[in-house]
């Protein structure tokens, strides 16, 4: 095969369309929820799968951007972001301190080992820190009884410029039907008790708190998933909150099969037809980021008409019921989630959350930017 032939090959008909204007819209909704608070737009995990540079543009009106990795923070600086950047896990090695200081990065401090690294650093740097309090999530952070000690040591550390205070919630997405375990109100109480006598700005709210309890947002809020037009509230669609999907995953029908009653579809024959059916095969599978755990009936659109998947999702393909789509053909457009099909519905049917679907989008998927 000639190189010219290879160069003319058409790409696989699977594309993720990113809507930057939707991201800007969603940020404006977050802003309306807490007009007196500043906003860290959380763009970790490559902007929840939407792309770091696109997220920077979509959230250009944010007061700061929050990421995990140094490399993302440095890329944002190279791309021209001049406002604050927060490293949500802080430093891992002493060498990270100078990188953070030289690039004006704020760092989260969540353990005594990080304080020790800062204390050992020679003067000459100045760095802003966020002291994280573990109020009940039991992931990162100082226990409430150790908050004052950590604050005192940070305040006595020569390179520390300012100290802000933060916590993170375990059950903020279950305010209406709380799960067993600690409540949001109890975590707020623990946090307030721990930091009552400590100076510094506060940051508490995630997307769920912004939407349901904006009165506890404090100096800074840290919206994440809502900025991409999704929620992880059980049974709640982002559209009901005036949020717009920032990612639409689309593909096409690449094959049609006509099967009889008793025929199975897919590996393990999870689905067996109870009647004669027309089955469409779609160019998308779990290696592209579509959840293998999706059940029969998981919603999907074909030429804008809703139907459901049948059989187990495989590595590169999935199957769906074409019964409701009389005029379907090879090449018919398929929407896997996004505009017209809330990602939350797909996540619910796969026993996961929308964040996992967005972040799990494979590099094999062509990604393009389109207007809403």
Q: What is the CA radius of gyration of the chain?
A: 24
Q: Are residues 121 and 188 in the same domain?
A: yes
Single out the residue in 199, 232, 265 at which a domain terminates.
232
Reading the block at residue 216, the tokens are 């506890």
Residue 215 domain-assigned?
Answer: yes
pTM over 0.85, yes/no: yes
pLDDT of residue 3: 41
CATH number (domain holding residue 103) = 3.20.20.10
Reading the block at residue 189, the tokens are 């109480």
Query: What range does the domain containing 251 cover?
Result: 247-369
pLDDT of residue 274: 96
Task: Answer yes or no: are the C-beta atoms of 112 and 91 closer than 8 Å.
Answer: no
Q: Which helix (H) or strand (E) holds 344?
A: helix 343-349
Q: Are residues 186 and 45 in the same domain?
A: yes
Q: Are residues 40 and 145 in the same domain?
A: yes
pLDDT of residue 233: 81
Residue 74 domain-assigned?
Answer: yes
pLDDT of residue 172: 86
pLDDT of residue 131: 98
Q: Are residues 176 and 203 in the same domain?
A: yes
Single out the residue in 204, 232, 260 at which a domain terminates.
232
Could you say which residues of the chain have pLDDT below 50? 1-7
Reading the block at residue 76, the tokens are 């944002």
Task: Answer yes or no: are the C-beta atoms of 152 and 131 closer than 8 Å.
Answer: no
CATH number (domain holding residue 358) = 2.40.37.10
pLDDT of residue 1: 37
- 128 SS3 class: strand
Q: Are residues 271 and 212 in the same domain?
A: no
Q: Are residues 210 and 270 in the same domain?
A: no
Residue 213 domain-assigned?
Answer: yes
What sign for the dihedral angle of Cα 145, 148, 151, 152?
negative
Single out the residue in 183, 209, 232 at which a domain terminates.
232
User: What tens digit of pLDDT does each residue of 313-325 get?
Assistant: 999 999 999 999 9
Task: Answer yes or no: are the C-beta atoms of 294 and 314 closer than 8 Å.
Answer: no
Q: Give the catalytic positions in this structure.
A: 44, 267
User: What tens digit of pLDDT does each residue of 251-280 get?
Assistant: 999 999 999 999 999 999 999 999 999 999
Q: Are residues 167 and 293 in the same domain?
A: no
């Amino acid at each position: 095969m000639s190189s010219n032939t290879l160069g003319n090959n058409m790409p696989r008909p699977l594309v993720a369309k990113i809507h930057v204007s939707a991201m800007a819209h969603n940020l404006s909704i977050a802003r309306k929820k807490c007009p007196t608070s500043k906003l860290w737009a959380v763009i970790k995990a490559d902007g929840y799968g939407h792309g770091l540079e696109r997220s920077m543009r979509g959230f250009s009106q944010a007061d700061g951007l929050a990421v995990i990795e140094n490399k993302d923070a440095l890329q944002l600086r190279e791309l021209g972001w001049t406002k604050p950047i927060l490293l949500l896990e802080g430093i891992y090695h002493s060498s990270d301190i100078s990188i953070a200081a030289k690039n004006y990065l704020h760092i989260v401090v969540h353990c005594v080992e990080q304080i020790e690294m800062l204390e050992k650093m020679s003067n000459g740097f100045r760095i802003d820190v966020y002291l994280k309090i573990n109020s009940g999530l039991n992931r990162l952070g100082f226990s409430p009884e150790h908050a004052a000690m950590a604050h005192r040591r940070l305040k006595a550390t020569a390179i520390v410029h300012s100290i802000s205070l933060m916590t993170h919630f375990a059950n903020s997405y279950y305010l209406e039907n709380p799960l067993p375990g600690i409540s949001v109100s109890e975590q707020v109480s623990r946090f307030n008790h721990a930091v009552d006598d400590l100076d510094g700005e506060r940051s508490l709210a995630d997307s769920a708190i912004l939407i349901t309890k904006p009165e506890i947002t404090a100096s800074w809020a840290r919206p994440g998933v809502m900025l991409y037009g999704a929620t992880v509230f059980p049974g709640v669609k982002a559209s009901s909150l005036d949020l717009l999907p920032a990612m639409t995953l689309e593909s096409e029908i690449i094959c049609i099969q006509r099967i009889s009653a008793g025929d199975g579809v897919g590996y393990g024959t999870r689905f067996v037809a109870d009647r004669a059916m027309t089955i469409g095969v779609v160019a998308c599978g779990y290696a592209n980021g579509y959840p293998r755990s999706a059940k029969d009936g998981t919603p999907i659109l074909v030429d804008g008409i809703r139907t459901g998947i049948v059989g187990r999702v495989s590595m590169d393909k999935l199957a769906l019921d074409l019964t409701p789509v009389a005029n379907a053909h090879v090449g018919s457009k398929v929407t896997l989630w996004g505009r017209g099909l809330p990602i939350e519905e797909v996540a619910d049917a796969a026993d996961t959350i929308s964040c996992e679907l967005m972040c799990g989008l494979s590099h094999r998927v062509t990604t393009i930017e389109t207007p809403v």
